[in-house]
Amino acid sequence: MIKNAFISFQEQKEESRGSVEFQVFSFTNKIRRLTSHLELHRKDYLSQRGLRKILGKRQRLLAYLSKKNRGRYKELINQLNIRELKTR
């Protein structure tokens, strides 16, 4: 399912790999892959650190997108099935 979504998303955004949406999408794929890895290897602390770093990067990109274009942000979080950012 994720691979098919990636292929369809990649076909749409072939020339815009630097876009915020594509970066968030690739970070989300990495997060899901690392999460499944950490379910098997609970004491892999370097992977835990990498996961935290990627989560922070994705969070900053989503915050930027929500400030710049709320509609694209809503569409992206619905497409990726992730929770909405909490605003302070």
Residue range 38-75, pLDDT digits in tens: 999 999 999 999 999 999 999 999 999 999 999 999 99
Residue 12 pLDDT greater than 70, yes or no? no
Identify the pLDDT of residue 4: 59
The residues spanned by each domain of the chain are 21-80
Structure tokens at 27: 């970070």
At 32 the three-state DSSP class reads helix
Using alpha carbons only, how large is the chain's radius of gyration in Å?
Answer: 14
Give pTM, 2 decimals.
Answer: 0.78
How many Cβ atoms from other residues are within 10 Å of residue 8's Cβ?
10
Amino acid at 15: E
Residue 44 CA to residue 71 CA, distance in Å, equals 38
Question: CATH classification of 21-80, choosing from 1.10.1040.10, 3.30.565.10, 1.10.287.10, 1.10.1060.10?
Answer: 1.10.287.10
